[in-house]
Amino acid sequence: MKPGNKTQISEFFLLGFSEEPELQTFLFGLFLSMYLVTVFGNLLIILATITNSHLHTPMYFFLSNLSFSDICFSSTTVPKMLVNLQTHSKVISYGGCLAQMSFFMLFAALEDFLLTVMAYDRFMAICHPLHYTVIMNPRLCGLMVLVSWVISALHSLLQSSMVLQLSFCTHLEIPHFFCELNQMVQLACSDTFLNDMVTYFAAGMLGVVPLAGIIFSYSKIVLSICTISSSQGKYKAFSTCASHLSVVSLFYFSTLGVYFSFAASHNTRSIAPVTVMYAVVTPMLNPFIYSLRNKDIKGALKKFFRMKS
């Protein structure tokens, strides 16, 4: 666009999923129910790990942090979408858009790092069981979570500060249900070469490196399980990491699906439904995946409700 189209930006327009009025009520009810399930499900996981002393272990410490991250991850996008659906408005302020984009990147990266840390925890528990309690001490576990927070926050701060340097034109429609980084960069009138380079580098560092760590950990786990002679021992070892592997697969496959669908169609509007998988559905399913296959979590929840009753 021409430089003459530049103006002082005060708001953006989130186009969302559909402009048909009859679908607004259905979408509002659907996403409200999914959001409530996400919040209450993950809160139950956190309460179970805090109130039950048997769950004060590295595995459940990381799980409670993942549940907290899931709540924040969904809360970044879904409440604003619900407000827009209820009020039939598509407007989001410039500051609100930047804040939403920043927090989304923060908790998406944090989710990625926590899944990697949990894979390392399972690797140590299965491959080095005799040294597990010594190596995975509370200090190291707290440090790993702290580093995950710091790197995620620095990444979000870097990307947000670079978006602040961009000049936007009069066309301010975002074909999404939240302010996503790539969508905002595409709306800029100024040169975005540096933004694109930083985004590609960050995608490699925050996507490829953690995924490589997860694949390495589970390759070692599989090799270690194969050396176990009894079938019962193999099943027990595999069951301890089956839930985490399911969450990792759901998160990464849905994330890759977003970018592959965009690369195949180059239709920015088609990304929104696919993004729902890792931005809304994955945080909602995580509590079910961990609680349904985990006797400790189910026992802790039963004990918690008995105490309340």
Residue 152 sits in a domain whose CATH number is 1.20.1070.10
Between 141 and 303, name the one with better pLDDT. 141
Q: How many residues does the chain have?
A: 309
Residue 91 β-bridge partners: 13
Residue 77 within a domain? yes
φ, ψ for residue 291 (rounded to 5)? -80, -35
8 A C-beta contact, residue 172 and residue 12 = yes
Better-scored residue on pLDDT, 32 or 90: 32
DSSP letter at 88 equals T
- Asked whether residue 258 is domain-assigned, the answer is yes
- Residue 303 lies in domain: 9-308
What are the tens digits of pLDDT across the range 71-116? Answer: 999 999 999 999 998 888 889 999 999 999 999 999 999 999 999 9
Mean pLDDT value across residues 141-169: 94
pTM of the model: 0.90
In a domain, 236, yes or no: yes
Asked, for residue 1, whether it belongs to a domain, the answer is: no
CB-based contacts of 221, cutoff 8 Å, min separation 6: 122, 123, 126, 127, 237, 241
Domain assignment present for residue 120? The answer is: yes
Domain total of the chain = 1
> Is residue 4 domain-resident?
no
Classify residue 2: in a domain, yes or no: no
Give the mean pLDDT of 46-61: 90
Q: pLDDT tens digits for 225-282?
A: 888 777 777 777 777 788 888 888 888 887 776 666 655 555 556 677 778 888 899 8
